[in-house]
Chains A and B, each alone.
Chain A
Amino acid sequence: MSINQKIVSDFIKNRIEFVTTVPCKQLAGVIDELEATANIYHIPSNKEDEGMGLCAGAYMGGKRSAIIMQNTAIGVTINTLVTLIQFYNIPLPMLISYRGEIGEPVACQVEMAVHTKALLEQLKIPTYHFHQPSDAEELNPILNHSFMAKKPVAILTDASFWQGA
């Protein structure tokens, strides 16, 4: 099973039926895999805060939801994370491409990478960093944790994780 298949399979195992995405090069494979999966409604969004609104609505409609996005989106979504997702106790797994780490070819990405963990810490969002492919073993319990706690969780997936996968 490829890492992309494993991620989608863990989504299905946790009864996630509604996933929104804003693309990143590192996430292309998992987005393709989602699109090909009949059990999950894949809805691309134009901006990540819009995507979180879609996820909140789907969750209230009885479908567990998740968002796949780049770490730059943390800058875009702080207000939505705080005033919608956290304020209303809505679970939201966030599978995040952690750009700007070792191996990054685009210097500008480093600017947001240096703030990513600090921002997530400030927001008190449980954060997990996948650095090598075997770290994905924890995805299934992390997803379960998000729905149990009714909180957003961040899963940061860096270049080493995707290159090793």
Chain B
Amino acid sequence: MIRSDVLKTLIPMISEELVVSNIGLPSQELHLLDDQPTNFYMLGTMGLASSIGLGLALAQKKKVIAIDGDGSVLTNLGTLPTIANNPANNFILLIIDNGSYGSTGDQPTYAGMKTSLAKVAEACGCETVIECAAENTAAAVRAALDGHDMTIIVSKCESGNIKVPVIDMDAPVIRHRFMTEVNRRNG
């Protein structure tokens, strides 16, 4: 399974949840598969999906799923100690780990070599860390949504991309639509 296959299996359970999705193809694929006002698409700023997701989870009560990639987490590795030491029980960080920088031409990342992001997350102090095969990701996300623990899921999948259009929506529109929905749900 490649990232878009994993995303497809997740749609039934994340469609109604607050989702922060990573720059590039992950956002474009999610937008194509299931555009929702509950999706915050990053159009730039590689690495910050997990930070935005944590800030959002700490600021309000609803569950937040940040869909990140191995390359982006490596870019912002300092995020894992911050997450571990500021636990938000409503936060799920899903790292789609395909061992490559997918949006830039599938160059290999260190997470596909010797580095285990699950072990890094544990060493940083994250208490609930699950590494799973691509096909088990949906079950892991379902369990995390049903549970009450901050959860880091590392989904090991294959490298590869589908053709998707860029997101045409303006950034302030994405932000405003998302905030309106966050506010309504916490109202």
Contacts and interface: CB of A to CB of B under 8 A. Distances in A.
A27 B48 CA distance: 25
Contact of B55 (A57, A79, A83): A57
B57 interface: yes
Nearest to B175: A88
Contact of A43 (B20, B82, B171): B82
A84 interface: yes
Contact of A18 (B52, B59, B81, B182): B59
A90 B44 CA distance: 14
Contact of B45 (A47, A63, A83): A83
Contacts of A39: none
Contact of B172 (A50, A56, A63, A88): A88
Q: How large is the interface on B (under 10, 10 to 19, 20 to 34, 35 or more residues)?
A: 35 or more
Contacts of A88: 171-172, 174-175
A146 B72 CA distance: 29
Nearest to B46: A79
Contacts of B182: 60-62
Chain B interface, >50% SS class:
helix
B116 interface: no
B51 A87 contact: no
B102 interface: no
Contacts of B78: 45-47, 50
Q: Which of B45, B53, B79 has the most CB of A within 10 A?
A: B45
B48 A84 contact: yes
Given A50-B78, A88-B171, A57 B45 contact: no
A58 B55 contact: yes
Contacts of A59: 55, 59
Contact of B76 (A44, A50, A56): A50
A57 B20 contact: yes
Interface string B145-185: 00000000000000000000000000110110011001100
A37 interface: no
A65 interface: yes
Nearest to A47: B78
B54 A57 contact: yes
Contacts of A65: 55
Given A80-B48, A83-B43, A58 B58 contact: yes
24 contacts: A18-B59, A44-B82, A45-B78, A45-B82, A46-B82, A50-B76, A53-B47, A53-B55, A56-B52, A57-B51, A57-B53, A57-B54, A57-B58, A57-B59, A58-B55, A58-B58, A58-B59, A60-B52, A60-B59, A60-B175, A61-B60, A62-B182, A62-B186, A88-B175
Interface of B: 20, 40, 42-45, 47-60, 76, 78-79, 81-82, 86, 171-172, 174-175, 178-179, 182-183, 186
Interface of A: 17-18, 41, 43-47, 49-63, 65, 79-80, 83-84, 87-90
Given A43-B86, A50-B79, A89-B171, 5 more contacts: A49-B45, A50-B76, A50-B78, A61-B56, A90-B175
